[in-house]
Amino acid sequence: MGPLKESQRSSASLVVCNWKAYLGIEESVTLARNALALARSHATALWIAPSMLSLGSVAQAVRGSMVAVGAQNCFWDGKGAFTGECTADELIELGCTFAIVGHSERRNLFGETSASAAKRAHALLRSGLGVICCVGESAHERAQGHTLETILEQLAPLFPAPLARPGQMIIAYEPVWSVGSGQTPTASQIHEVHELIKTHAAQHVENLRVLYGGSVTAANAAELARAPSVAGFLVGGASTKLDSLKALLDTLG
Protein backbone atom coordinates (compact mmCIF):
# COMPACT_ATOMS: atom_id res chain seq x y z
CA MET A 1 0.00 0.00 0.00
CA GLY A 2 1.45 3.36 -1.03
CA PRO A 3 1.22 6.70 0.69
CA LEU A 4 -2.21 8.21 1.24
CA LYS A 5 -3.50 10.62 -1.37
CA GLU A 6 -3.76 14.22 -0.28
CA SER A 7 -7.55 14.04 -0.66
CA GLN A 8 -7.61 11.25 1.92
CA ARG A 9 -5.58 13.10 4.55
CA SER A 10 -7.13 14.38 7.75
CA SER A 11 -5.85 14.98 11.25
CA ALA A 12 -6.04 11.21 11.79
CA SER A 13 -6.24 9.38 8.48
CA LEU A 14 -4.40 6.17 9.39
CA VAL A 15 -4.77 3.50 12.07
CA VAL A 16 -1.99 0.92 12.39
CA CYS A 17 -2.92 -2.14 14.45
CA ASN A 18 -0.02 -3.64 16.37
CA TRP A 19 -1.34 -7.01 17.55
CA LYS A 20 1.92 -7.83 19.36
CA ALA A 21 1.62 -11.43 20.70
CA TYR A 22 -2.00 -11.19 21.79
CA LEU A 23 -3.55 -13.38 19.07
CA GLY A 24 -2.94 -16.82 17.62
CA ILE A 25 -2.93 -17.53 13.89
CA GLU A 26 -6.62 -18.44 13.55
CA GLU A 27 -7.68 -15.54 15.76
CA SER A 28 -5.54 -13.18 13.67
CA VAL A 29 -7.02 -14.35 10.37
CA THR A 30 -10.58 -14.02 11.68
CA LEU A 31 -9.97 -10.53 13.03
CA ALA A 32 -8.18 -9.50 9.83
CA ARG A 33 -11.16 -10.53 7.71
CA ASN A 34 -13.52 -8.64 10.01
CA ALA A 35 -11.20 -5.64 10.02
CA LEU A 36 -11.29 -5.63 6.22
CA ALA A 37 -15.08 -5.37 6.34
CA LEU A 38 -14.70 -2.39 8.71
CA ALA A 39 -12.14 -0.75 6.45
CA ARG A 40 -14.56 -0.83 3.55
CA SER A 41 -17.04 1.31 5.48
CA HIS A 42 -14.63 3.84 6.99
CA ALA A 43 -12.52 6.60 5.47
CA THR A 44 -9.60 5.96 7.83
CA ALA A 45 -6.90 3.76 6.27
CA LEU A 46 -6.22 0.54 8.19
CA TRP A 47 -2.89 -1.28 8.42
CA ILE A 48 -2.28 -4.49 10.40
CA ALA A 49 0.90 -5.81 12.04
CA PRO A 50 0.16 -9.34 13.35
CA SER A 51 2.63 -11.62 15.10
CA MET A 52 5.42 -13.05 12.97
CA LEU A 53 3.89 -16.53 12.80
CA SER A 54 0.55 -15.07 11.69
CA LEU A 55 1.96 -12.83 8.96
CA GLY A 56 1.62 -15.17 6.02
CA SER A 57 -1.92 -16.28 6.87
CA VAL A 58 -3.13 -12.73 7.53
CA ALA A 59 -1.51 -11.39 4.36
CA GLN A 60 -3.25 -14.12 2.35
CA ALA A 61 -6.60 -13.36 4.01
CA VAL A 62 -6.57 -9.69 2.95
CA ARG A 63 -4.44 -9.96 -0.19
CA GLY A 64 -5.37 -7.46 -2.89
CA SER A 65 -7.50 -5.39 -0.51
CA MET A 66 -7.22 -1.89 0.93
CA VAL A 67 -5.78 -3.26 4.19
CA ALA A 68 -1.97 -3.29 4.36
CA VAL A 69 -0.11 -5.95 6.30
CA GLY A 70 3.28 -5.47 7.94
CA ALA A 71 5.70 -7.03 10.41
CA GLN A 72 6.52 -5.99 13.96
CA ASN A 73 10.26 -6.13 13.28
CA CYS A 74 12.85 -6.94 10.61
CA PHE A 75 16.58 -7.71 10.56
CA TRP A 76 19.09 -5.28 9.05
CA ASP A 77 20.85 -7.78 6.79
CA GLY A 78 19.91 -10.27 4.09
CA LYS A 79 20.17 -14.04 4.08
CA GLY A 80 22.66 -15.55 6.49
CA ALA A 81 23.34 -17.10 9.87
CA PHE A 82 20.92 -14.91 11.84
CA THR A 83 18.97 -17.33 14.02
CA GLY A 84 15.53 -16.07 15.00
CA GLU A 85 15.47 -13.09 12.62
CA CYS A 86 13.50 -12.36 9.45
CA THR A 87 14.67 -10.42 6.41
CA ALA A 88 13.04 -7.75 4.27
CA ASP A 89 13.00 -10.11 1.28
CA GLU A 90 11.08 -12.68 3.31
CA LEU A 91 8.54 -10.04 4.35
CA ILE A 92 8.05 -9.01 0.74
CA GLU A 93 7.54 -12.64 -0.27
CA LEU A 94 4.86 -12.99 2.41
CA GLY A 95 3.01 -9.95 1.05
CA CYS A 96 4.05 -7.34 3.61
CA THR A 97 4.31 -3.69 2.63
CA PHE A 98 5.76 -2.22 5.85
CA ALA A 99 7.35 -3.07 9.19
CA ILE A 100 7.53 -1.48 12.63
CA VAL A 101 10.95 -0.87 14.19
CA GLY A 102 12.16 0.53 17.51
CA HIS A 103 9.00 -0.14 19.51
CA SER A 104 9.49 0.54 23.23
CA GLU A 105 8.90 -3.13 24.03
CA ARG A 106 11.70 -4.08 21.65
CA ARG A 107 13.95 -1.53 23.33
CA ASN A 108 13.05 -2.38 26.93
CA LEU A 109 12.62 -6.15 26.74
CA PHE A 110 15.06 -7.15 24.00
CA GLY A 111 17.83 -4.58 24.16
CA GLU A 112 16.97 -2.74 20.95
CA THR A 113 18.85 0.55 20.63
CA SER A 114 18.25 3.62 18.51
CA ALA A 115 21.25 2.63 16.40
CA SER A 116 20.02 -0.93 15.77
CA ALA A 117 16.47 0.30 15.10
CA ALA A 118 17.88 2.69 12.49
CA LYS A 119 19.83 -0.15 10.86
CA ARG A 120 16.61 -2.16 10.61
CA ALA A 121 14.75 0.84 9.22
CA HIS A 122 17.39 1.53 6.59
CA ALA A 123 17.37 -2.09 5.41
CA LEU A 124 13.59 -1.93 5.00
CA LEU A 125 13.76 1.37 3.14
CA ARG A 126 16.40 0.06 0.75
CA SER A 127 14.18 -2.96 0.04
CA GLY A 128 11.27 -0.68 -0.87
CA LEU A 129 9.15 -1.50 2.17
CA GLY A 130 7.54 1.15 4.32
CA VAL A 131 8.82 1.80 7.84
CA ILE A 132 7.11 2.92 11.03
CA CYS A 133 9.85 3.90 13.48
CA CYS A 134 8.79 4.35 17.11
CA VAL A 135 10.26 6.90 19.50
CA GLY A 136 9.24 7.90 23.01
CA GLU A 137 10.40 8.92 26.47
CA SER A 138 10.15 7.11 29.80
CA ALA A 139 8.26 8.47 32.81
CA HIS A 140 11.57 9.44 34.42
CA GLU A 141 12.75 11.29 31.32
CA ARG A 142 9.51 13.26 31.14
CA ALA A 143 9.58 14.05 34.86
CA GLN A 144 13.15 15.33 34.47
CA GLY A 145 12.16 17.53 31.52
CA HIS A 146 14.21 15.47 29.05
CA THR A 147 11.41 14.46 26.67
CA LEU A 148 12.55 16.47 23.67
CA GLU A 149 16.19 15.61 24.22
CA THR A 150 15.33 11.90 24.34
CA ILE A 151 13.31 12.08 21.13
CA LEU A 152 16.13 13.83 19.27
CA GLU A 153 18.64 11.23 20.49
CA GLN A 154 16.40 8.43 19.21
CA LEU A 155 15.93 10.13 15.85
CA ALA A 156 19.60 10.99 15.30
CA PRO A 157 20.81 7.68 13.75
CA LEU A 158 17.72 7.42 11.55
CA PHE A 159 18.64 10.35 9.30
CA PRO A 160 19.61 10.67 6.56
CA ALA A 161 17.45 7.74 5.48
CA PRO A 162 17.64 5.92 2.12
CA LEU A 163 14.08 6.73 1.05
CA ALA A 164 12.98 5.33 -2.30
CA ARG A 165 9.71 7.25 -2.46
CA PRO A 166 7.72 9.93 -0.63
CA GLY A 167 5.70 8.65 2.31
CA GLN A 168 7.85 5.54 2.72
CA MET A 169 8.76 6.38 6.31
CA ILE A 170 6.46 7.23 9.21
CA ILE A 171 7.43 8.12 12.77
CA ALA A 172 5.26 6.95 15.67
CA TYR A 173 5.52 8.87 18.92
CA GLU A 174 4.81 6.40 21.72
CA PRO A 175 5.61 7.65 25.23
CA VAL A 176 6.92 4.61 27.09
CA TRP A 177 5.00 5.57 30.23
CA SER A 178 1.75 5.64 28.26
CA VAL A 179 1.95 2.27 26.48
CA GLY A 180 -0.58 -0.07 28.11
CA SER A 181 -0.99 2.19 31.15
CA GLY A 182 -4.22 3.96 30.25
CA GLN A 183 -2.41 7.30 30.66
CA THR A 184 -1.91 9.64 27.74
CA PRO A 185 -0.25 13.00 27.17
CA THR A 186 -2.43 16.01 26.46
CA ALA A 187 -3.07 17.04 22.88
CA SER A 188 -0.72 20.02 23.37
CA GLN A 189 2.07 17.77 24.71
CA ILE A 190 1.66 15.44 21.75
CA HIS A 191 1.69 18.37 19.34
CA GLU A 192 4.92 19.69 20.86
CA VAL A 193 6.72 16.38 20.30
CA HIS A 194 5.26 15.85 16.83
CA GLU A 195 6.35 19.31 15.72
CA LEU A 196 9.86 18.63 17.03
CA ILE A 197 9.98 15.39 15.03
CA LYS A 198 8.75 17.03 11.85
CA THR A 199 11.12 19.98 12.21
CA HIS A 200 14.10 17.71 12.83
CA ALA A 201 13.24 15.49 9.87
CA ALA A 202 12.35 18.32 7.49
CA GLN A 203 15.83 18.59 5.99
CA HIS A 204 15.68 14.91 5.03
CA VAL A 205 11.98 14.05 4.52
CA GLU A 206 9.17 16.12 3.07
CA ASN A 207 5.67 15.94 4.55
CA LEU A 208 6.61 13.34 7.14
CA ARG A 209 3.62 11.64 8.75
CA VAL A 210 3.76 11.29 12.52
CA LEU A 211 1.44 8.91 14.37
CA TYR A 212 0.61 8.85 18.06
CA GLY A 213 0.62 5.60 20.02
CA GLY A 214 0.13 4.75 23.68
CA SER A 215 -3.16 3.68 25.30
CA VAL A 216 -5.23 4.85 22.32
CA THR A 217 -8.91 3.90 22.60
CA ALA A 218 -12.22 5.01 21.15
CA ALA A 219 -12.77 7.02 24.33
CA ASN A 220 -9.73 9.25 23.87
CA ALA A 221 -9.01 9.13 20.12
CA ALA A 222 -11.12 12.16 19.24
CA GLU A 223 -9.36 14.29 21.86
CA LEU A 224 -5.91 13.06 20.87
CA ALA A 225 -6.68 13.70 17.19
CA ARG A 226 -7.28 17.37 18.02
CA ALA A 227 -3.54 17.85 17.80
CA PRO A 228 -3.23 18.99 14.16
CA SER A 229 0.09 17.19 13.77
CA VAL A 230 -1.40 13.74 14.49
CA ALA A 231 -1.66 11.92 11.16
CA GLY A 232 -3.07 8.80 12.76
CA PHE A 233 -2.55 6.24 15.49
CA LEU A 234 -0.47 3.18 16.27
CA VAL A 235 -2.83 1.09 18.38
CA GLY A 236 -2.06 -1.97 20.52
CA GLY A 237 -4.60 -3.63 22.80
CA ALA A 238 -7.63 -1.69 21.53
CA SER A 239 -7.01 -3.08 18.03
CA THR A 240 -7.05 -6.74 19.09
CA LYS A 241 -10.82 -6.95 19.60
CA LEU A 242 -13.35 -6.29 16.88
CA ASP A 243 -15.74 -4.22 19.00
CA SER A 244 -13.06 -1.84 20.30
CA LEU A 245 -11.49 -1.52 16.85
CA LYS A 246 -14.88 -0.70 15.34
CA ALA A 247 -15.56 1.87 18.05
CA LEU A 248 -12.20 3.49 17.34
CA LEU A 249 -12.81 3.70 13.60
CA ASP A 250 -16.35 4.99 14.20
CA THR A 251 -14.87 7.76 16.35
CA LEU A 252 -12.42 8.80 13.65
CA GLY A 253 -15.02 8.65 10.87
Q: What is the pLDDT of residue 225?
A: 87
Tell me if residue 223 is catalytic.
no
Tell me if residue 103 is catalytic.
yes
Q: For 132-145, write each residue's pLDDT tens digit.
A: 999 999 999 999 99
Is pLDDT at 9 greater than 50 in this prediction?
no
> Taking every pair of C-alpha atoms in the chain, what is the biggest distance, in angstroms?
48
Which residue out of 112, 122, 174, 200 is catalytically annotated? 174
- Mean pLDDT along residues 219-227: 89
Tell me the whole-structure pTM to 2 decimals.
0.93
| Nearest-angstrom CA–CA distance, 46 and 40 | 10
C-alpha dihedral sign at 77, 234, 128, 113: negative
Residues in the chain: 253
Beta-carbon contacts of 34 under 8 Å, excluding residues fewer than 6 positions away, are: 242
Q: What is the pLDDT of residue 179?
A: 87
Domain boundaries, the chain: 6-252
C-alpha dihedral sign at 168, 231, 174, 201: positive
| Nearest-angstrom CA–CA distance, 249 and 12 | 10
Which residue out of 90, 103, 122, 137 is catalytically annotated? 103
Q: For 21-80, write each residue's pLDDT tens digit.
A: 999 999 999 999 999 999 999 999 999 999 999 999 999 999 999 999 999 999 999 999
Give a three-class secondary structure readout of 161-196. CCCCCCCCEEEEECCCCCCCCCCCCCHHHHHHHHHH
Q: Distances from the Cα of 122 to the Cαs of 51, 205, 227, in angstroms?
A: 22, 14, 29
Which of the two residues, 42 and 228, has the higher pLDDT score? 42
| Nearest-angstrom CA–CA distance, 194 and 207 | 12
What is the DSSP pairing of strand 68-71 with strand 130-135? unpaired
Where does 6-252 sit in CATH, by number? Answer: 3.20.20.70
| Nearest-angstrom CA–CA distance, 176 and 141 | 10
Residue 181's pLDDT band (cuts 50, 70, 90): confident
